[in-house]
Amino acid sequence: MQLTVKGNPVFVHTGGREIDPARPAVVLIHGAGMDHSVWSLQSRYLAHHGRSVLAVDLPGHGRSGGEPLGSIAAIADWVVALLDAAGLERAALIGHSMGALVALEAAARHAGRVEAVALLGVAERMPVHPDLLAAAHAGESSAIEMVIGWGHGPRGHGGAQGGGCPTPGLALIPGGRRLMASVRPGVLGVDLAACNDYGQGADAAAAVACPALFLLGALDRMTPAKAGRSLAARVKTSQVVVLPQTGHMVMTEAPDAVLDALTSFLSLRRG
Amino acid sequence: MAGAKFLKFDTQSLHAGQKPDPATGARAVPIHLTSSYVFSDVDQAAALFNLERPGHIYSRISNPTVAVLEERLATLEGGVGAVCTASGQAALTLAIMTLMGAGGHIVASSSIYGGSRNLLAYTLPRFGITTTFVHPRDLDGIRAAIRPETRLVFGEVLGNPGLEVLDVAKVAAIAHEAGVPLLIDSTFTTPYLCRPFEHGADLVMHSCTKWLSGHGTAIGGVVIDGGRFDWEASGSFPTLTKPYAGYHGIDFAEEFGPAAFIARARAEGLRDFGACMSPMNAFQILQGVETLPLRMKCHIHNARKIVCFLEGELTAETGAVAWVSYPELVDHPDHALASRLLPHGAGSIISFGIRPGAQGSGREAGRRFIESLTLFSHLANVGDAKSLVIHPASTTHAQLDAEALAAAGVGEDMIRLSIGLEDCDDLIDDLKQALRAATKG
């Protein structure tokens, strides 16, 4: 579905069902240098379990126009503008990595518009190593290699104990690599800088009034589960699910466990 | 910052796609000989059927043993996903059926496996899909053959049986200029020798029966999606970019992003056409893939030694060899290209011609040569651990007329060797005695 937000065309994947204002809405917010397709299973599941789904391509990403926004706060405000454009008063926000910071900040800044937040692969701070930032700004493929390499746990990397993508026949690391390679030049650098510069995680967490679910990978090397737990402790009403054998790419590495947790958290029922 | 680390090719050949069986701890990949899978509840069943959750429903569509092989081959090629099929021919058919329907057109190399040629030239036209064949070295001809209704360019890294080397990067660029994907049959080279996605190909297929297995016990194929082709931008592939009624209006490119092609190939092609791989075959092929790097090194080592032997026969005054074709030879027309594209070796297929004997023709000399061999097996396969031999003009390419034979580079005197893993001295002894027998008066 195409929307116009702040004058720019925005693409929203609705999970195979049209948005219905009578159904509670959920916005799925992807991470740095990615797009809506990281939520391919979750978006369909939510749309067929009573929710209006907006798996969005953030500005400058995927099929959306415009330029990438340079800060977590700006993207958080933009998500609320997206709700306005879709004619939605409130929505649950589900975000991954950079998208999780966006959901957290939006819940703090716009409490009346956010029903609940589910934060995947998140930490109060997401400092980005200068080498990675420089490579991303320069458009070097090594930036993608670092994000994909550090971002995946054993289901992506394989090895004697851990191989095996949950979706039959797919390979997570080449899939992630191709997705990030399709993103426009310069976008990854802007996204990573936004993550690196964000310093309001603790304050935002303290201001969150809605229920919050933290979905953390036990083997996450980018936002370690310990850091996610400590952020969750700052939120008034939070629950934490730590997924074993899972890295930072929580929704693609452990889609079933993510859906199980979301089903309980959002009281989902088929329909 | 430390660079990201990824497991290397040899390691992935052993481990990609697998972990010890969680139920039993079995280290080997279990053979899941089951048609179907018990659903945990009604909602899980509905979610599986609607592509909301990952998992297995019915072994025609996916199977845990086959899935290990699919992920392993996708990983070795650098593709986003794979679908294994009942044979290499089924893989080619699946790729074509996923991309086009009646009215579609293919531009194919004229130097391809005889079975593939038959499918494209004689069978698919019955379903409204036509093919223009172009010599793999004729890049301008490939460009000129592309029409508005062309939906695929297809070739083999190493032509069969003429061993022409396809300039994958240049052909990919030609295809992409026209908004068309390039499918490469990489059976002869395997990902150990060439990874076509790194040269611009969009889809790769194999007959897994050959070098990937090595043991010659199982028939199987695979099609692998590179995930790079922009189906949406091309605008010519409604199967991937328009709603599909077979799954409640799903749009595969929108839903699956880089994995759109392979998702449709499974959700429609395997489900409806049904040419799936048996779990037993997947298990057997996996045993081969585990030793692929080791075997390919030995294949190349032996092939190079036998090329040297045949070259010696070629130059000897009493030699029985009329010509030798192998891309690593400096007089091969694609020698420079092979050096760039296949730095680890140009495969283990060697073609050569037998000098007619005193009273015989090239065809008769070929017959006597093949029947005199004792170590090489005369059969219609390549890529076994055992060395193989065939006379293409009377077998694999027998359905071609004289003109098509010439276009495919198949002479009546051509012998095709598939060099195996035996002691090379034994192979050379066998060739020596058979050449003598073939050419004596």
CATH code assigned at B66: 3.40.640.10
Collapsing DSSP to helix, strand or coil, B62 comes out as coil
**pLDDT at position B1:** 64
Neighbours of A263 (CB within 10 A): 16
Q: Which residues pair with B182 in a beta bridge?
A: B153
**Least Cα separation, residue A206 to chain B (angstroms):** 32
pLDDT tens-digit map of B4-42:
899 999 999 999 999 999 899 999 999 999 999 999 999
| Residue at A180 is within a domain | no
Of B252, B268, B289, the residue that ends a domain is: B289
Confidence check: pLDDT of B318 > 90:
no
Q: Answer yes or no: do B52 and A150 touch at CB < 8 A.
A: no
Domain range spanning residue B336? 292-439
What is the distance in angstroms between the Cα of B215 and the nearest Cα belonging to chain A? 24
Q: Which chain B residues have a beta carbon less than 8 Å from that of A37?
A: 254-258
- Check residue B358 and give its pLDDT: 63
Among B1, B5, B68, the residue to mutate for chain A (most A Cβ within 10 A): B1
What would the two tokens of residue A179 be? 């997705």
Q: Is residue A176 part of a domain?
A: no
User: Predicted confidence band at B247 (pLDDT cuts at 50, 70, 90)?
Assistant: confident
What's the complex ipTM?
A: 0.96
Assess whether B239 and B313 both reside in one domain. no
Is B338 inside any structural domain? yes
Shortest Cα distance, chain A CAs vs residue B80, angstroms: 4
Domain assignment of residue A160, yes or no: no
Q: Across the strands, what pairs with B349?
A: B418
* Whole-number pLDDT of residue B391: 87
Residue B197 shares a structural domain with residue B312: no
Residue of B273, B279, B108 lying closest to B118 (CA atoms): B108
Query: To which residue do tokens 């910071």 refer?
Result: A101
β pairing state of A25-29 and A91-96? parallel
> Is B4 contained in some domain?
no
Question: Hey, of B53, B203, B232, which one would you mutate to test binding to chain A, going by the most A CBs within 10 A of its CB?
Answer: B53
Whether A115 is covered by a domain: the verdict is: yes
Cis peptide before B161 (omega within 30 of 0): yes
**A147: in domain:** no
Instruction: Identify the pLDDT of residue A125.
Output: 96
Same domain, B209 and B328: no
Predicted local confidence at residue A232, as pLDDT: 98
Residue B68 shares a structural domain with residue B94: yes
Rounded CA separation B49/B268 (Å): 13
What was the pLDDT predicted at B359? 56
Give the per-residue pLDDT at B411.
82
Closest C-alpha among B164, B212, B170 to residue B187: B212
B72 and B32 belong to one structural domain? yes
Chain B environment of A167 (Cβ under 8 Å): 54
Distance CA B109, CA B305 (A): 29
Q: How many residues does chain B have?
A: 441
- Do residues B171 and B143 make contact, with C-beta atoms less than 8 angstroms apart? no
B345/B222 same-domain check: no
Partner residues linked to B28 by β-bridges: none
Contacts of A179 in chain B (CB under 8 A): 227, 257-258
Q: Which among A168, A195, A192, A170 has a CA at the least distance from the CA of A180?
A: A192
Residues B278 and B350 in one domain: no
Q: Which of B20, B71, B248 sits opposite A165 (nearest CB)?
A: B71
Q: Cβ B54–A145 below 8 Å, yes or no? A: no
Same domain, yes or no, for B184 and B131?
A: yes
Integer Rg of chain A from CA:
17
Q: DSSP states of A85-98 as a string? A: HTT-S-EEEEEETH
**β-strand partners of B107:** B132, B153
pLDDT digit string (tens) for chain A, length 271 residues:
999 999 999 999 999 999 999 999 999 999 999 999 999 999 999 999 999 999 999 999 999 999 999 999 999 999 999 999 999 999 999 999 999 999 999 999 999 999 999 999 999 999 999 999 999 999 999 999 999 999 999 999 987 777 789 999 999 999 999 999 999 999 999 999 999 999 999 999 999 999 999 999 999 999 999 999 999 999 999 999 999 999 999 999 999 999 999 999 999 888 8
Q: Does residue B119 belong to any structural domain of this protein?
A: yes
Domain count for chain B, please give it. Answer: 2
- What are the helix (H) ranges across B242-291? 252-256, 260-264, 279-290
**Whole-angstrom Cα distance, residue A151 to residue B217?**
39
Provide the CB-side half-sphere exposure for B99 (13 A, CA).
28
Distance separating alpha carbons of residues A222 and A65, to the nearest angstrom? 29
Q: With an 8 Å Cβ cutoff, are B47 and A158 in contact?
A: no
Average pLDDT over residues B391-417: 79
Concatenating the DSSP letter of every residue in B179-204 gives T--EEEE-TTTHHHH--GGGGT-SEE
- Work out the minimum CA distance from A207 to partner chain B, whole angstroms: 34
Sequential DSSP letters for B332-363: STTHHHHHHH-TT---SEEEEEEPP-SS--HH
For CA atoms B355, B299, B382, B410, the dihedral sign is negative
A170 lies in a domain?
Answer: no
Bridge partners, A95 (sequence order):
A29, A119
Q: Tell me what the pLDDT averaged over chain B comes to.
A: 94
A161:B1 CB<8 A = no
Q: What single-letter DSSP state applies at residue A235? A: S
Set of chain B residues whose Cβ sits within 8 Å of the Cβ of A270: 43, 46
Determine the Cα–Cα distance for residues A65 and A11; give it in Å rounded to an integer: 8
Number of structural domains (chain A) is 1
Residues B254 and B361 in one domain: no
* Measured distance CA(B302)–CA(B345) in Å, rounded: 11
Mutate to test the interface with B, among A61, A63, A161, A170 (most CBs of B within 10 A): A170
Q: Which residues contact B405 (CB under 8 A, 6 or more apart)?
A: B393, B397, B411
Q: How far does the CA of residue B155 sit from the closest CA of chain A (Å)?
A: 23
Helix H or strand E encompassing A2: strand A2-5
Q: Which residues of B touch A13 (CB under 8 A)?
A: 254-255
How far from chain centre, in Å, is Cα B394? 22
Q: Is residue B375 part of a domain?
A: yes
Q: Which of A16, A178, A181 sits opposite B248 (nearest CB)?
A: A16
Nearest to B81 among A16, A45, A175 (CB): A175
Query: Residue A79 domain-assigned?
Result: yes
Q: Which residue of B has its CA nearest to A18?
A: B249
pLDDT of the residue at A238? 96
Find the closest chain A residue to B46 by CA distance.
Answer: A270
Based on the domain organization, do B349 and B417 belong to the same domain?
A: yes
Q: How far is A21 from chain B (nearest CA, A)?
A: 21
If asked whether residues B37 and B127 sit together in one domain, one would say: yes
Indicate the residue among B289, B320, B344 that finishes a domain: B289
Residue B67, min C-alpha distance to chain A (Å): 5
Contacts of B439 (CB under 8 A, 6+ apart): B320, B354, B355, B356, B357, B358, B365
- Alpha-carbon gap, residue A205 to A104, rounded angstroms: 7
Q: How many CB atoms lie within 10 A of CB B401?
A: 8
Is A158 in Cβ contact with B70 (below 8 Å)?
no
Q: Do B52 and A41 touch (CB under 8 A)?
A: yes
Give the β-pairing of A25-29 and A52-56.
Answer: parallel
- Count each helix (H run) and each strand (E run) in chain B, helices first: 18, 12
pLDDT at position B138, please? 97
SS3 helix, strand, coil % of chain A, rounded to 5?
Answer: 40, 15, 40
Cα distance between residue A173 and residue B262, in whole Å: 16
Q: Which of residues 80-139 of A touch B (CB under 8 A)?
A: 129-132
3-state secondary structure of B115: helix
Q: CB pairs below 8 Å between A and B: how many?
A: 159
Residue of A nearest to B21 (CA): A161
Amino acid at B185: D
Other beta carbons less than 10 A from residue B423's beta carbon: 10
Residues of chain B found within 8 Å of residue A131, distances taken between Cβ atoms: 1
Nearest to B240 by CA among B204, B206, B203: B203
Using CA coordinates, name the residue in chain A closest to B22.
A161
- Give domain status of residue B417, yes or no: yes
pLDDT of residue B355: 85
Q: Does A1 touch chain B (CB under 8 A)?
A: no
pLDDT in tens, B347-370: 999 999 988 876 567 778 888 899
Q: Are residues B340 and B223 in the same domain?
A: no
Distance, in Å, from the CA atom of A198 to the CA atom of A71, rounded to the nearest integer, reads 7
On the 0-12 / 13-18 / 19+ scale of CB atoms within 10 A, B177 is exposed
The domain that holds A39 is classified in CATH as: 3.40.50.1820
* Length of chain A counted residue by residue: 271
Tell me the chain B residues in contact with residue A40 when contact means C-beta distances shorter than 8 Å: 255-257
- Rounded CA-CA distance B87/B67 in Å is 16
Q: CATH number of the domain at B394, please.
A: 3.90.1150.10
Residue B3 belongs to a domain: no
Classified as helix, coil or strand, A213 is strand
Residue A50 sits in which domain range? Answer: 2-126+198-265
- In the listed set B240, B255, B289, which residue is the last one of a domain according to the structure? B289
Helix (H) or strand (E) holding B118: helix B114-118
> Within a domain: residue A43?
yes
Q: What is the pLDDT of residues B273-300, one digit of tens each?
A: 999 999 999 999 999 999 999 999 999 9
Helical (H) or strand (E) element with A239: strand A238-243
Give the residue from B429, B368, B366 showing the smallest Cα distance to B392. B366
B2, part of any domain: no
- Enumerate the residues of chain B whose CB falls inside 8 A of the CB of residue A129: 1
- Choose among B5, B249, B259: nearest Cβ to A170: B259
Band the pLDDT of B403: cuts 50, 70, 90: confident
Q: Between A40-47 and A255-265, two packed helices, what is the crossing angle to 10 degrees?
A: 30
Task: Give me B230's structure tokens.
Answer: 């922009």
Say whether B50 and A44 touch across the interface (CB within 8 A): yes
Query: How many helices, marked H, and strands, marked E, lie in chain A?
Result: 12, 8
Contact flag B17-A130 (C-beta cutoff 8 Å): no
Residue of chain A whose alpha carbon sits nearest to that of B26: A161
pLDDT band at B441 (very low <50, low <70, confident <90, very high): low
From A44's Cα to the closest Cα of chain B, the distance in A is: 5
Tell me, yes or no, whether B110 lies in a domain.
Answer: yes
For B73-124, the pLDDT digits (tens) are 999 999 999 999 999 999 999 999 999 999 999 999 999 998 999 999 999 9
Comparing alpha-carbon positions, the chain B residue that sits nearest to A41 is: B52
